[in-house]
Amino acid sequence: MKEKVSLAVVRRLPRYYRYLGELQRQGVDKISSGGLAEKMGLTASQIRQDLNCFGGFGQQGYGYNVEMLRGEIASILGLPRQYRTVLIGVGNLGRALVSHVGFEKRGFSLIGLFDVREDVIGTSIGAHTVLPMSELEAFCLRERPEAAVLSLPRAAAPEVADRLVALGVKGFWNFSNGEIVEGEIPVENVHLGDSLMTLCYRIQSEENQK
Amino acid sequence: MKEKVSLAVVRRLPRYYRYLGELQRQGVDKISSGGLAEKMGLTASQIRQDLNCFGGFGQQGYGYNVEMLRGEIASILGLPRQYRTVLIGVGNLGRALVSHVGFEKRGFSLIGLFDVREDVIGTSIGAHTVLPMSELEAFCLRERPEAAVLSLPRAAAPEVADRLVALGVKGFWNFSNGEIVEGEIPVENVHLGDSLMTLCYRIQSEENQK
Q: Is the pLDDT of residue B6 over 90?
A: no
Per-residue pLDDT averaged across B148-174, rounded? 95
> Closest partner residue to A195 among B2, B17, B188, by Cβ?
B188
B99 touches chain A (CB under 8 A): yes
User: At residue B23, what is the residue type?
Assistant: L
Specify whether the CB–CB gap between B203 and A145 falls below 8 A.
no
Q: Is the pLDDT of residue B206 over 50?
A: yes
pLDDT at B8: 83
pLDDT at B166: 95
- Dihedral of CA B3/B6/A70/A184: which sign? negative
* CB-count burial class (<10 Å; 0-12, 13-18, 19+) for A37: middle
H/E stretch holding B174 reads strand B172-174
* CB-count burial class (<10 Å; 0-12, 13-18, 19+) for A134: exposed
* Separation of alpha carbons B82 and B107, rounded Å: 5
> Closest partner residue to B92 among A95, A184, A205, by Cβ?
A95
CA dihedral B64, B66, B72, B76 (to 10 degrees): 100
CA dihedral A157, A151, A200, A13 (to 10 degrees): 100
Helices (H) and strands (E) in chain B, counts: 8, 9
DSSP-derived pairing of the beta strands B187-189 and A172-174: unpaired
A170 touches chain B (CB under 8 A): yes
What is the per-residue pLDDT across A6-51, written as a single tens digit (0 to 9) for each?
A: 888 888 999 999 999 989 999 999 999 888 898 888 898 888 888 8
DSSP class of residue A103 equals: T
Q: How far is B11 from chain A (nearest CA, A)?
A: 6
Tell me the percentage of chain B whose pLDDT exceeds 90.
Answer: 62
> At B5, is the pLDDT very low, low, confident or very high (cuts 50, 70, 90)?
confident
* Separation of alpha carbons B172 and B161, rounded Å: 8
Per-residue pLDDT averaged across B81-89, rounded? 96
pTM for this entry? 0.86
ipTM: 0.89
DSSP class of residue B117 equals: -
* Torsions phi, psi for B144 (to 5 deg): 55, 60
pLDDT at A57: 72
Provide the chain B residues 45-84 that lie in CB contact (below 8 A) with chain A. 76-79, 81, 83
What is the per-residue pLDDT across B160-170, written as a single tens digit (0 to 9) for each?
A: 999 999 999 99
The contacts of residue B147 (CB under 8 Å, 6+ apart) are A199, A203, B83, B84, B85, B86, B108, B169, B170, B171, B172, B173
pLDDT at A51: 85
Residues of B in contact with A76 (CB under 8 A): 201
pLDDT at B4: 61
pLDDT at A23: 92
* Separation of alpha carbons B22 and B39, rounded Å: 11
What mean pLDDT, rounded, does chain B reach? 90
Q: Which residues of chain A have pLDDT under 70?
A: 1-4, 56, 58-60
Per-residue pLDDT averaged across B1-18, rounded? 79
